[in-house]
Amino acid sequence: MPEIIHQASGIIILGKRIRSIIFSTDMAIIKNTNADAVIAVYPFTPHPAIMQGISMVADIPVFAGVGGGLTHGQRSVNISLFAESLGSLGVVINAPTPIETIKAVNQVVDIPLILTVVTDRTDLKPRLAAGVDIVNISGGKNTVSIVRQVRQKYPELPIIATGGKSDETIEAVIAAGANAVTYTPPSNGELFSKKMALYRKQEIERTKNNT
């Protein structure tokens, strides 16, 4: 994880201070990260088998996606209970999650509810009242602006935000008010590509030395 993320103040959940959060469902990467936590969300219906697999592999706390868009209502409630039973540190609900689903999940789990916010038009007041504990701001190029607006309106609200790919963008979201930063790591393929290039270079050098 980028060292600059350590400048964030962090969010304390059950005695653990979370500053850096890796955004991945790749079990090999999750097993070999130095992040404080993993946010495991994906663009499909949440499935217990995926959640269980990640929980078994992860050496760090897991924030588990439980739907809220295509999946909501009782299924999100059931998935949230399952996530809590596996030891997840929080459940992540998507931006379109109905207020009724937020309330229902809040009634059955004790771990924090994290709401993903993708636009500055999201009305947080009713969602916070329904049980949201933390917001996860992922607004693309508008992320810094959204973080700043939310921080001004809610000085004490724990904020997670996407930090982009560079130290400059990570520093910007922290300066805007984010307490923790999510980071998308290179893919397994990208990491392997670099390693294969190194292996090829070493093999070329070895054969040169032997001739």
pLDDT in tens, 63-94: 999 987 666 788 999 999 999 999 999 999 99
Rg of the Cα atoms in the chain: 19
For residue 112, what pLDDT is reported?
96
pTM: 0.89
Does residue 208 register a pLDDT over 90? Answer: no
Contact between residue 38 and residue 62 where contact means Cβ atoms under 8 Å apart: yes
Angle, helices 48-57 vs 74-85, to 10°: value is 20
- Compute how many other C-beta atoms are within 10 angstroms of the C-beta atom of residue 137: 29
- Among the listed ranges 95-109, 130-144, 186-200, which one has the minimum average pLDDT value? 186-200
- Spell out the domain ranges in the chain: 3-186
For 42-53, what is each residue's pLDDT tens digit? 888 889 999 999
Would you say residue 22 has pLDDT above 90? yes
The string of pLDDT tens digits covering residues 101-135 is: 999 999 999 999 999 999 999 999 999 999 999 99
* CATH value of 3-186 in 3.40.50.2000, 3.10.129.10, 3.20.20.60, 1.10.3720.10: 3.20.20.60
Strand bridging mode 159-162 / 90-93? unpaired
